[in-house]
Amino acid sequence: MFEEKLGALSQMTAEHMAMPFPPGFRGLDIEGQDMVMLDADAYGCAAGVLEGTLTEPHRAWLARLVAVFGKVLPAIDDKYATRYYTHVRDMAVLAAEIESQRDK
């Protein structure tokens, strides 16, 4: 099961890299969150999980990012951007799940 989740996360990161960044979202803040940084931070955490175990500060950062999506996603009013950032959120959630399983 663990290896399957790693495989799914790897696929999600590849899909993410193939998706164009939403037009008009560079330099945009939603709910106090820079959308470029949200994207980059979530991808960076997911890539870190694929490389190995995250440090405790990185795990805390990932948990914070997952929570931020709860505020940001409902405030996005662009159909493509909603799909894009939902994918980014799902990638971050899966990365957090994988990290929590490493503790067991």
pLDDT (tens digit per residue) in 13-30:
999 999 999 999 999 999
Mean pLDDT of the chain: 95
pLDDT at position 102 over 90: no
pLDDT (tens digit per residue) in 69-84:
999 999 999 999 999 9
Q: For residue 80, what pLDDT is reported? A: 98
Question: How confident is the model over 52-78, as a mean pLDDT?
Answer: 95
Q: For residue 1, what pLDDT is reported? A: 86
What's the count of helices (H) and strands (E) in the chain, helices before strands? 4, 2
> Computed over its alpha carbons, how large is the radius of gyration of the chain?
13
pLDDT (tens digit per residue) in 81-93:
999 999 999 999 9
Burial letters 33-63, b for 16+ CB under 10 A, else e:
bebeebbebbbbbbbbbeeeebeeeebebbe
Query: In 3-state terms, what secondary structure has residue 98?
Result: helix
Return the H-helix or E-strand segment holding 20: none
Domain ranges (residues) in the chain: 2-102
